[in-house]
Structure 1
Amino acid sequence: MIEIPSNLEGKHFSLYRLEDKLKPRGYTIGSNWEYDHGYFDYLIDDRVGYQFLRIPFRAIDGQLDSLGTTVEIGRPLLLSHKYQRGLDEEADTGLLSGMTNQFQEPVDKDASFPKEYIDLGKSLVQELEDLFL
């Protein structure tokens, strides 16, 4: 895990506005959200496990499944997850592997992050700052 300090940290936004701007750019709300916090994830690479930029947020008023919820942005980070291969050979292709892998325990949930993607992660955070600030 590599944290990327950002001017977005601590800023408040409508969750609806974030979703409206981020989803068309390839961000998804991570599957591990709760009613009071969640993550926007941007998949950087998935050839050997998954490398992604994660933008954490927490609800300030309301719950994440409520209309009009305001959230506070946390510190962005780069994560790498490597999943077990061969548990389900039938599902180890493209979209189906992602559906299966989400239920598998990672081989290394804090795998080292490939250096060639660190600058990309920083530039993605800069794009978000330009978009929202």
Structure 2
Amino acid sequence: MVLEDAGIKGIQKEFGSLEKEMKRLGFVRWAWDYDKASFDMKFEGKESDYYLRIQAHVIQGKLENPKAVVEMDHPVFLRHIFPHGLDPDTEIPEEFKKTVDEVLGKVKETIA
């Protein structure tokens, strides 16, 4: 589920400071490529694991350089489906809605 109302898309930041702040907020940088990085926060549900993912796309420089400038994309809430991967069309379970909203508020406040 794409979370378009989070107010995070379009925020630009230096990669080094963004990575430190996202780690401090509980996100882990898992997937990365030469032009983007994904920051994930895991939620363990009763029947499945879920992830709150926020991608950052390079707009200036190279990703591993702390001075590279990245632009944030819309957060996405995903459900892990073993062994097939991640389902981007899942709804946020009721048990996680409040936490997801709080986390996104902290992310926006911290990186803006």
- Name the SS for the 2:106 alignment partner: helix
Aligned match of 2:71: 72
Structure 2 alignment gaps of length 5 or more: none
- Quick one: which of 112, 116, 121 aligns to 2:90? 112
Partner of residue 37, structure 2: 38
Structure with the largest fraction of strand: 2
Deviant stretches of 4+, over 6 Å? none
CA change 1:66–1:131 in 2 (3 A) is closer
2:107 equivalent in structure 1: 128
Higher relative contact order (CA 8 A, sep 6+): 2
State the TM-score, normalizing by the size of structure 1.
0.71
Q: 1:75 to 1:38 in 2, by over 3 A?
A: same
Q: What's the CA shift string for 1:4-50, capped at 9, x where partnerless? A: 4222211110110011112122211122x210012111112255332
- Give TM-score, length-normalised by structure 2: 0.83
Describe the SS at the equivalent of 1:17.
helix
Counterparts of 1:119 and 1:13 in 2: how far apart (Å)?
A: 26
Change (3 A) 1:47 1:63: farther
State how 1:1-133 maps to structure 2 within 5 Å: 1-31=1-31, 33-45=32-44, 47-84=46-83, 105-106=84-85, 109-110=86-87, 112-113=90-91, 114-133=93-112
Q: Which runs of 5+ in 1 are unaligned?
A: 85-104
Residues 53 and 129 (structure 1), Cα distance of their counterparts in 2 relative to 1, 3 Å cut: same
For the 8 Å contact 1:41–1:53, the answer to whether it is kept is yes
For the aligned residue pairs, the C-alpha RMSD in angstroms reads 2.0
Deviation at 1:75, TM superposition (A): 0.7
Aligned pair count reads 110
Letter in 1 for 2:5: P
